């Protein structure tokens, strides 16, 4: 009698636990959260109103574009998704970059709000080892975002990565150097092309003939000795004769993003600018010279 009652109690408790688990799962939308990019045409086209923080996203360069651009986009997305998981005390976990060659140049990470220690580089000799490493990293759940660079993803491999990402609750951002046109079992697929920055062309300006304006007060231009052999001033007569007082030229990077494929969403296109100070995208409405802005109505 006593035993029976105890068993019943245990069962009831277990049912309660399961109900609570189910409630948690449904409340968080099946466990997948999204992160809005802050660019209206893209967010509207993405399922859930933003970039999913769990799952596979494929990125590729538009034909004739620089190979560094999709790398930059991947890091920008990673920065977004990492900020998302920071709430879960995951900010200290590194991003993992898996590739065979052409890893991002670590000093350049600063433009994406990342430090060198945020990145763990995994070098694989063969494509097969690369896919295995990606899957292993995703499944372990040790990194909020796993980035990779490979030639082209096949359907089965893409499916495996998507499953591994779901299991490890992390995002996989893949840069394809030679993307095949075939649809992939990825959540999203992006094509990115570089676009001219918003600063007017100054190369024919006569400011190259004049000396650089003095730095604004309160911001002395000081470099540690090892930066450039320019400790206290110009090394040569023309060493600091330059074009822009903020040393920011050529402007913030602008990318033309094409959302080619979006699960549960629709295709879209936008011209965005990446601000490295705030680490955020913004929609460009004022095009650069000779630049065409896609019609927001036509593309959705």
Partner 1 sequence: MAQEGQRQVLSAVDPAALALGLAPGQPLAAARAQVPDLKIASRQCDAEAHRLARIEAWCQRYTPWVAADPLGDGSSGSLAFGGGAGLYLDVTGCAHLCGGEAALMADMRRRLGALGHAARIGLAATPGAAWALARFATGPERPVLALESGAGQEAEAAALDPLPPAALRLNPEALRLLANLGVTRIADLRRLPAASLTARVGSETLYRLRQALGSQDEPLSPKAPESLPWVRQAFAEPLLTPEAVAAVLDRLLTALSVELERRGLGARRLEVIGHRVDGSQVRLAVGTSRPSRDPAHLSRLAAPQRDLLDPGYGLEVLTLSAPFCEPLQASQVTASGMQDTSSARDSTAAVADLAALVDRLQSRLGPGSVARPRARARHRPERAVAHATPFAQERRRRPALAGQAEPESWPDEQPPRPLLLLPRPEPISVMALLPDHPPRRVEWRRERLEIARAEGPERLESAWWDPAEAQEPARDYYRLETGDGRRLWVYRAAQDWFLQGMFA
Residue 247 engages partner 1 in binding (rule: CB under 8 A): yes
249 binds partner 1 (CB under 8 A): yes
Least distance to partner 1 from the beta carbon of 35, Å? Answer: 20
Among positions 44-63, residues that touch partner 1 (CB under 8 A) are none
Q: What is the total count of residues that contact partner 1 (CB under 8 A)?
A: 81
Please pick, from the candidates 56, 73, 150, 174, the single residue that binds partner 1 as defined by CB under 8 A: 73
141 binds partner 1 (CB under 8 A): yes
> CA 152 to CA 158: how far, in whole Å?
10
Cα distances from 192 to residues 27, 34, 72, 121, 272, in angstroms, run 34, 21, 10, 24, 10
**CA–CA separation, 258 vs 197, rounded Å?**
18
**Contact flag: residue 108 with partner 1 (CB under 8 A):** yes
Q: In the complex with partner 1, which residue's Cβ is closer, 184 or 193?
A: 193
Q: Residue 288, Cα to own-chain centre: how many angstroms?
A: 24
Are the beta carbons of 283 and 272 closer than 8 angstroms? yes
Least distance (Å) between residue 79 CB and partner 1: 12
Residue range at the interface with partner 1 (CB under 8 A); choices 7-15, 16-24, 81-89, 96-104: 96-104
**222 binds partner 1 per the rule CB under 8 A:** yes
Residue from 38, 245, 251, 294 that binds partner 1 (CB under 8 A)? Answer: 251
Distance CA 124, CA 129 (A): 6
In the complex, what is the shortest distance from the CB of residue 40 to partner 1, in angstroms, rounded to a whole number? 22
Q: Does 66 bind partner 1 (CB under 8 A)?
A: yes
Cβ distance to partner 1 smaller for residue 178 or 236: 236
Q: Should residue 261 be labelled a site residue for partner 1 when binding is judged by CB under 8 A?
A: no
Rule CB under 8 A: is residue 24 a binding residue for partner 1? Answer: no
């Amino acid at each position: 009698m006593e035993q029976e009652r105890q068993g019943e109690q245990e069962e009831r408790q277990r049912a309660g636990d399961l109900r609570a688990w189910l409630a948690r799962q449904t409340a968080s939308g099946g466990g997948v959260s999204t992160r809005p990019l802050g660019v209206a045409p893209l967010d509207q086209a993405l399922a859930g109103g933003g970039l999913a923080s769990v799952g596979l996203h494929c990125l590729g360069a538009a034909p004739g574009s620089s190979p560094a651009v999709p790398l930059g986009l991947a890091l920008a997305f990673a920065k977004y998704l990492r900020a998302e998981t920071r709430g879960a005390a995951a900010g200290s976990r590194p991003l993992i970059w898996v590739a065979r060659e052409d890893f991002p140049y670590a000093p350049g990470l600063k433009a994406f709000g990342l430090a060198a220690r945020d990145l763990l580089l995994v070098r694989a000799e063969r494509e097969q080892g690369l896919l295995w490493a990606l899957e292993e990293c995703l499944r372990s759940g040790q990194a909020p975002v796993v980035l990779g660079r490979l030639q082209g993803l096949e359907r089965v491999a893409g499916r495996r990565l998507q499953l591994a990402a779901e299991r490890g609750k992390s995002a996989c951002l893949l840069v394809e150097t030679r993307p095949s046109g075939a649809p992939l079992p990825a959540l999203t697929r992006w094509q990115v092309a570089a676009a001219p920055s918003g600063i007017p062309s100054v190369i024919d300006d006569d400011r190259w003939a004049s000396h650089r304006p003095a730095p604004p007060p309160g911001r002395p231009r000081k470099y540690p000795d090892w930066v450039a052999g320019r400790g206290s001033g110009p090394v040569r007569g023309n060493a600091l004769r330059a074009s822009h007082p903020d040393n920011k030229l050529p402007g913030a990077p602008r990318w033309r993003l094409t959302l080619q494929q979006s699960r549960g969403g629709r295709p879209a296109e936008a011209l965005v600018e990446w601000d490295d100070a705030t680490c955020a995208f913004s929609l460009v409405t004022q095009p650069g010279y000779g630049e065409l802005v896609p019609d927001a109505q036509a593309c959705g």
